[in-house]
Homo-oligomer: A and B are copies of this chain.
């Protein structure tokens, strides 16, 4: 009987979420089975405060330290290099403001510090950079090319002796551009060597990467990495800053000494456990998953361009584009409305980053790479998932064809 119950519970946890065609994985991923399985028992167990020395506290502590070791193993860093936070936004704040705060505590003035980034960053980075600017930090934006890539030359052009930190997204959340991270890091290291400068910290916002690209820090060459559990099969409200080597950080919230003094507040045991399980799952077969989904993506791009009049692809093709991202513009079309029409047809899609707000307005990213306002106002982003099927994009194409035809009728 008990066995039967456990079987039912286990199959419930494995229940596929989407009966619909869900093509908004860049905004939120369903929780993977591994995350659900590790989290379900924690709804009734391990409720202690991990800072408490009693059995209940130590049980909770043990959950988070196992999770920390799992993340460390997955990303090839020491456990001490993993700091759990409440999501990607806080992770970017800690990696960016936390690092500069540590430099200020060590004696630098805010106005002595420069940060290099790109105009295509996620709102959590752009808003954080604005905050730094109000404190006196100089922020320099590296130019991006027509598909959103930062070239070594473009990066070198904005490096200065005062550059303390470089921050950029591994994968752009709207157009899927993958930055040539290793090559850019080599450029940075060559710059500091050539001018005999102290190390420039390189931070990578990897929120969109774990399902599609290897994220081991040593391989990438970066110093810090930020992650968001809700974008890689884990729970929302989870994430981490991961450090390789020695990088000074200071907390951006204030209180107890949790997370080696970097993140005060009782640890979110449930979210931490789910995040670690999801990240390990996401990275395990990442190459195989990327190859499979990239084929769907490329077929989908071809179908959309062939079938939907006026559709143009935004961002790169091939290996420079993350495996799951399709972003097209249909200039003239009200794509907010098209997304609603897709929804009615059983398809979840988006126009741009969910963090950029629900309202209308153009895609800052597409405007930056194309300079074309009409194109930036008419984006549709389709982000595939591990379970996406070859039949998904043809369904999208059909709805968009109808929308374009309707637009033709209305404007006649």
- Residues of A at the B interface (CB closer than 8 Å) are 5, 8-9, 12-13, 15, 17-18, 20, 22, 24, 27-31, 36, 39-40, 43-45, 47-49, 51-57, 60, 86-90, 92-93, 122-125, 127-128, 130-131, 228, 230, 235-237, 252-258, 264-271, 336, 339-340, 342-343, 347-350, 354-358
Contact = CB atoms under 8 A, between A and B. Distances in A.
27 contacts: A5-B5, A8-B8, A24-B48, A24-B56, A27-B57, A28-B47, A30-B47, A48-B348, A49-B354, A51-B358, A53-B336, A53-B358, A54-B347, A54-B348, A57-B348, A86-B90, A92-B255, A93-B253, A127-B264, A128-B255, A235-B270, A236-B268, A237-B270, A256-B355, A256-B357, A264-B355, A270-B271
Nearest to A353: B256
Contacts of A28: 47-49, 52, 56-57, 60, 266
Contact of A266 (B36, B127, B230, B267): B230
Contacts of A128: 254-255
Contact of A253 (B40, B57, B252): B252
Contacts of A13: 43-44
A27 to B, nearest CB: 4
Contacts of A39: 43
A5 B22 CA distance: 29
Copies of this chain held together in the complex: 2
Contact of A44 (B12, B56, B336): B12
A230 B268 CA distance: 9
B55 A343 contact: yes
A270 B52 CA distance: 25
A154 to B, nearest CB: 25
Nearest to A8: B5
Contact of A89 (B17, B253, B340): B253
Contact of A54 (B45, B54, B123, B343): B343
Contacts of A270: 235-237, 270-271
A262 B264 CA distance: 19
B339 A56 contact: no
A136 to B, nearest CB: 13
A304 B128 CA distance: 53
A279 B92 CA distance: 30
A258 B12 contact: no
A185 to B, nearest CB: 25
A87 B267 CA distance: 9
Contacts of A53: 336, 339-340, 343, 350, 358
Contacts of A18: 56
A342 B52 CA distance: 13
Nearest to A125: B255
Given A40-B40, A270-B236, A356 B256 contact: yes
A87 B268 contact: yes
Given A24-B48, A29-B47, A49-B354, 16 more contacts: A18-B56, A28-B52, A28-B56, A51-B357, A53-B350, A86-B90, A86-B237, A86-B265, A88-B266, A89-B256, A89-B266, A236-B268, A237-B267, A237-B268, A257-B357, A268-B271
A147 to B, nearest CB: 25
A13 B266 CA distance: 23
A15 to B, nearest CB: 5
A96 to B, nearest CB: 9
Contacts of A47: 17, 28-31
Contacts of A254: 89, 93, 124, 127-128, 130-131
B271 A354 contact: no
A112 B54 CA distance: 45
Contact of A123 (B60, B92, B256, B268): B256
B89 A86 contact: no
